[in-house]
Structure 1
Amino acid sequence: MDKPVELDSATGSGTSTPSEPNEAWISAPGTDVPAPPPDGGLNAWVQVMGSWCVLYCTFGLVNTFGVYQTYYEHTLATSSSSDISWVGSIQGGLLLCGSLVSGPLFDAGYFRHLLYSGLFLIVFGQFITSLCTQFWQIVLAQGICIGLGCGAVFGPCTAVIAQYFSRRRALASGLVSMGSPIAGIVLPVVFSDLQPKIGAPWATRVIAFILLGISVIPLAFLRTRLPPAKHHRALIDTSAFRDASFMTFTVGGLFAFMALYIPFFYIELFAIDRRLAPDGFSASYMVTLMNAGSVLGRIIPPYISDKTRQPALVMAVSTFASCALAFAWLGIRDSFAATAAFAVLYGVVSGGVVGMQSAATFSLTRDMGRVGTRLGMVCFVAGAALLIGTPIAGVILGGGGGPGGGGPPPRWNGLIGFSADLLLVATALLFATVWFVLKAERGRK
């Protein structure tokens, strides 16, 4: 075999031999230049399956936190809605912020190390959560331990798809991201149905065993296609600050992710506070309906993106639709049907925002050797937004520390308006990104 040239692990421009036999890179016949991504085939789609399982175990847990938010509102009498939401926001924030570190580590060839350590922390944290009885213990186990594990694996398992797909990259990324809403459908039902029968600790352990079983698949099959680069990537790509389209996209993502998960965290509490659920319908199923809608949001927008070659535009339209639905939520008072319809539709359009973030970042990065670092930067900003968005919403909501807790009534219009206004600003910035992209394309013609 010819001596390999140095390859960037994300796309292929760089010298080193593979760190493991199963991570061997593929070269074009008779050359040292790597072959283009296969864009299909059994091995490529197996990577999609493995990454899907990782999304199930990471973002799927974030999408599930709504049922824990409501449970803790009833059981942690001394903790406010804002306090409790910090647990979920820390988990989601570390998931995204961790990409700032895991991205360069992925580029340096530590993919398998990140995969093993991250999945261990997720499963371990879920088991420890089942033993927690105090708020600070829950923060450490469910917030920080699981969050660190999610941050270690989320970015690399998203970036590895870029090594196997080019023309179908948006579709592959969308299929991978479906792991999140599928988990958001299954896990809340598991917890809500088992918690009255066997108690919350054992319901949480059942979820941990589910995560343990699913983790076997990525550990067995996920592999990088290209070898690591010898040179180390910086945590921050300073050239990005001179890229107008990338900067407006990143700031737009900041506002979008501050707002995007507020309905996921609070829709169940909204249904309980307004006494909307009919007999035989658990309010926790609102979270399930929202995640069920999100499945469509992970399929349709990527398909449109692959046809139009404009993932940033698809994400901007999805954000606009999320904004419109958030304002429509203001008009819902005592209608169960309207709340259920909102949950499903918001799940669809918000899924398009989350599912298109990675593909849009790839499309805005002309030097694909920097894709790991830039994806880490985008995810870090989004993670910081997710970290503070839901707790701020909890402060705005106020109330008496949970349903029936006494004190002033919850300020639902304030919470919903906060979410809608943030999405409006995000929409403007993402459409500005599209304008910069189209302007640059016209300039190159």
Structure 2
Amino acid sequence: LPLSHKLRSIAPTMSSGEARDFVPRTEGNCAEFGTVSFSKASRTELGPAEEAAVHGGTPTETVAPDGGPSAWLVVSGVWCASFCTFGWVNSIGSFQDFYQNNLLKNYSTSAVAWIPSLQIFFMNALGPLIGTIYDNYGPKQLMLVGTFLHVFGLMMTSLATEYYSILLTQGVCSAVGVACISQPSLSTINTWFNLKRGTAYGVLSTGSSIGGVIFPIMISRLVPQVGFPWTMRICGFIIMCLLTVANLTVENFKSPKPQKVNMRYMVRPLREPPFALLLAGLFLFTYGLYVPVNYLPVQLLNAGVSQQLAENIIPVFNASSLFGRLFSGVVGDRIGRFNIFIIVCYLSGVWALAVWIPSHAAAGLIAFAVLFGFCSGSYVSLMAALIAQISPANEIGLRTGIIYLAASIGGLTTNPINGAIFDEPNGEVGIKVFSGVFCIVSATFITAARVYHTGFSLFVNF
């Protein structure tokens, strides 16, 4: 029967307010030229109640409120968590420069690069385990454990003076804490938002950008005044206060139901072509993303600029990323989250190849930092939204964790690979080509995931 007939048959059993909720929208995943098309792509944008109306059943999931004081309070808590986790990790370029020129100056570039690499690896590698725990028990216990480990790791880093101790405290302990905080807190947004999911992620992801601006400036200003140990302690106290707010406010809209976990359950997402393609795309993008973050300060110093300007390039990068994250989230809700993500991924590669390679002076490198930061910011703001768009609600934690695990491999190997490339003749050009090519290849895989759902039409909101 026509959809309108089915809706009319359901409407008399409801109040007028409920009936209005089932009016077809043209802003879903597959709205083309103002005409509603309920293909398999559009199913991911329909809420549980709309799905029930279309198929003549009853809702099986609680409808996300898509706003309200409680929902935005959760967003504020996740913002604090994002500030303390991704915002902290976004400042790793400052540590690469500081360790390489001061505390660990007797070690090679590639050896020092293992510290941020391990940090990124452990932040992501525990993804499937943390995601499965989240799917079954929610975010509360994970975030409490993560808060302790993150703060404890930073406090112990303040006491570290040797390479191995910094590697264990900052590269492992703090990173495991970040993993227990970041993934569960981000996943809660999917339970509170559906149609406005991109906007919510765009707003909360500005926390990581602001953290990525504030932490490098704090580190560069405090280290000469109070020393490295007290700098780490001050950062640790700030993080502890904000994570207290996050622990008090972040919760799921609906309590999760524990489910049986086995190997078949864990590998099932990998058998789905769109998820496998998205996984490949996001994995490859990590190889392009972290290169500028880690090596722009070093290249600015090699270009002869002042130490202060070199230290400020990471805040510039993250400030630009802030606007990119908010822009991609809001625009993604209007034209499609996959659509905007694909565009900015391709542009990230173009900026690396067309702007970064010919740039040798400070002006060109700063221009690249602004352009690349704006475009690459969508990786943080839309990654979880893309996963949720093609995943069952009760598996979002696991699937997000699988993506995180793949990203950990990129995070672990990117810096050592590029450290080795950078130490070779013409290594500076080599890492720029490396970054640009991987951004473009990753965008191609994500485009393939979109094509699987929507076909080759350019005007499908997906």
TM norm structure 2: 0.83
Q: Which amino acid aligns with 1:60?
A: G
1:39-438 aligned within 5 A? 39-75=66-102, 76-234=104-262, 237-277=266-306, 281-308=308-335, 310-327=336-353, 328-333=355-360, 335-365=361-391, 367-398=392-423, 411-438=427-454
Alpha-carbon distance in 1 for matches of 2:266, 2:129? 13
SS of 1:298's equivalent in the other structure is helix
What is the root-mean-square deviation of aligned Cα atoms in Å? 2.3
Aligned to 2:19: none
Report how far residue 440 of structure 1 moved. 9.9
Alpha-carbon distance in 2 for matches of 1:315, 1:437? 15
Going from structure 1 to structure 2, the CA distance change for 1:322 and 1:440 (only over 3 Å counts) comes to closer
> Do the aligned partners of 1:167 and 1:306 also contact (CA within 8 Å) in 2?
yes
Alpha-carbon distance in 1 for matches of 2:208, 2:274? 28
SS of 1:435's equivalent in the other structure is helix
Report how far residue 276 of structure 1 moved. 2.9
Alpha-carbon distance in 1 for matches of 2:148, 2:206? 22
Q: Which amino acid aligns with 2:439?
A: L
Going from structure 1 to structure 2, the CA distance change for 1:159 and 1:390 (only over 3 Å counts) comes to same
> Do the aligned partners of 2:121 and 2:408 also contact (CA within 8 Å) in 1?
yes
Alpha-carbon distance in 2 for matches of 1:389, 1:249? 20
Report how far residue 439 of structure 1 moved. 2.5
My pick for the range that moved more, 409-418 or 86-95, is 409-418
SS of 2:152's equivalent in the other structure is helix
Report how far residue 233 of structure 1 moved. 4.0
Query: CA deviation digits over 1:216-245, x for unaligned, max 9?
Result: 111221222212213234575433233222
SS of 2:455's equivalent in the other structure is helix
Report how far residue 111 of structure 1 moved. 2.1
Q: Which amino acid aligns with 1:390?
A: N
SS of 1:261's equivalent in the other structure is helix
> Do the aligned partners of 1:259 and 1:390 also contact (CA within 8 Å) in 2?
no
> Which segments of 5 or more consecutive residues in structure 2 lack a partner in the other structure?
1-45, 49-57
Alpha-carbon distance in 1 for matches of 2:396, 2:456? 19
Alpha-carbon distance in 1 for matches of 2:254, 2:97? 45
Alpha-carbon distance in 1 for matches of 2:123, 2:339? 25
Alpha-carbon distance in 1 for matches of 2:197, 2:176? 27
Aligned to 1:403: none
Alpha-carbon distance in 1 for matches of 2:411, 2:315? 20
> Do the aligned partners of 2:139 and 2:188 also contact (CA within 8 Å) in 1?
no
Going from structure 1 to structure 2, the CA distance change for 1:79 and 1:176 (only over 3 Å counts) comes to same
My pick for the range that moved more, 157-166 or 236-245, is 236-245
Alpha-carbon distance in 2 for matches of 1:272, 1:55? 30
Alpha-carbon distance in 1 for matches of 2:445, 2:78? 30
Report how far residue 410 of structure 1 moved. 6.9
Q: Which amino acid aligns with 1:68?
A: F
Alpha-carbon distance in 2 for matches of 1:424, 1:434? 15
Report how far residue 98 of structure 1 moved. 2.1
> Which segments of 5 or more consecutive residues in structure 1 lack a partner in the other structure?
1-10, 14-30, 400-408
> Do the aligned partners of 1:96 and 1:154 also contact (CA within 8 Å) in 2?
no
Give the number of aligned pairs.
Answer: 402
Query: CA deviation digits over 1:66-123, x for unaligned, max 9?
Result: 1110011112133211111111121112212222111110111152110111011111
Alpha-carbon distance in 2 for matches of 1:249, 1:196? 44
SS of 2:137's equivalent in the other structure is coil
Report how far residue 254 of structure 1 moved. 1.1
Alpha-carbon distance in 1 for matches of 2:430, 2:249? 47
Q: Which amino acid aligns with 1:439?
A: G
> Do the aligned partners of 1:254 and 1:381 also contact (CA within 8 Å) in 2?
yes
Give the structure with the larger helix fraction.
2
Structure 1 vs Structure 2: percent identity of aligned residues? 28
Aligned to 1:26: none
Alpha-carbon distance in 1 for matches of 2:449, 2:256? 31
Aligned to 1:402: none
Alpha-carbon distance in 1 for matches of 2:262, 2:305? 51
> Do the aligned partners of 1:161 and 1:172 also contact (CA within 8 Å) in 2?
yes
Structure whose alpha-carbon radius of gyration is higher: 2
Report how far residue 32 of structure 1 moved. 9.5
Q: Which amino acid aligns with 2:450?
A: V
Q: Which runs of 4 or more aligned residues in structure 1 lie more than 6 Å from their structure 2 counterparts after TM superposition?
A: none
> Do the aligned partners of 1:12 and 1:369 also contact (CA within 8 Å) in 2?
no
Query: CA deviation digits over 1:335-392, x for unaligned, max 9?
Result: 2121111111111001012321111111122x32222211111121112211211221
